[in-house]
Structure 1
């Protein structure tokens, strides 16, 4: 599908207390929409968001109202400079000559003060197929970020497991010094008591052990 363009114009009028609009200081138009497939077209529906700064003469004269103009009641005015926003309906059907997602973007917007004190805003919209290659690169970039984050999380988990394993192994192989010392002292005391017991035996009592078959029996 070749890029398709269309141009729209809206005229805005303001309360007489501000006087006539004499200049358009800044204007911005943004397209917001949803895409819907019909039998023979792709339908875009939503709004054009218009935001503009406009200068007034401040004379407060009654202006001739145009029946086709949009009256803006809510204007933020300071020192004869006003700001307003307005939503213009967006509804357009585009041919389905190619598959893919469409994008509609405002490529140009301008505003002009008219002789009767109104503000005429004009904007041009371009619709075209989304850049499939760019979309694929964006998706690939997001997948790469996700993979790197997952890999970093896995490395941190492995480090934590290794640290816990090392601490557990160290605790298992390190002897309890206090328990070891108690066992050594206890064994030493038992040996001394046995020696004392042997020393107290009579001379005719032997402490040498014999196997039964080594002793002669009459």
Structure 2
């Protein structure tokens, strides 16, 4: 069984009319998901469903506009305690080659913690565990040893003959079009003569 683990944090801010969040009375995070099969991977999609009771105090703190916070506008307020729910999107991908055929991953959370922050907000964090059965390791295929083919007689040098000889190669170079260079140069300390340009 393999487990992938990571932490998730969300910060929530409330309207100033509710006061300042001072204490989180109760918080729960419940994963709700479905498993979908794609071409090359298995995808777990769903939400982390957050339910939270927050105790507020009278007072005001300065709001700092930032995109790090999720604004909660609708609270069920009973006295000083407000209740809200929120859904955080979830998407997990596991390659088909890592997952045992026919098995499905499972998701659960633990280590749920929460605290008020300095900016009229609260922070809720949790640890996610995605468990799945690993695909078995492919069995190594036995390697058959290579048998070397015997050469006729490796001690005797073999002579390769060029039927057209060196004259053909030289003529090819001399017959090149004007776009190519026709320079004379020594080759193996043998000077090659060039015909005069036409």
TM-score class normalised by the smaller sequence? 0.5 to 0.7
Q: Which residue of 2 aligns with 1:129?
A: 132
The answer to whether structure 1 residue 69 and structure 2 residue 72 are counterparts is no
Higher share of residues assigned helix: 1
More strand by share: 2
User: What RMSD, in angstroms, separates the aligned Cα atoms of the two structures?
Assistant: 1.7
Measure how far apart 1:110 and its partner are: 1.2
Task: Give the secondary-structure state (helix, strand or coil) at the position aligned to 1:106.
Answer: strand
Work out whether 1:98 is the aligned partner of 2:99: yes
Per the normalisation by structure 1, the TM-score is: 0.55
Q: Is the 8 A contact 2:62 2:119 kept in 1?
A: no
* Alpha-carbon distance, 1:76 to partner: 1.1
Question: C-alpha deviations, 1:8-35, integer Å up to 9, x for none?
Answer: 1111001110112111111100111110
Gaps of 5+ in 2: 134-198
Counterpart-to-counterpart distance in 2, 1:13 and 1:27: 15
Q: Note the 1:55-204 alignment, pairs <5 A.
A: 55-96=55-96, 97-99=98-100, 100-129=103-132
Q: How many residues align?
A: 130
Matched residue SS, 1:17? helix
Cα distance in 2, alignment partners of residues 49 and 113 from structure 1: 19
Normalised by the length of structure 2, the TM-score is: 0.61
- 5+ residue gaps, structure 1, are 131-218
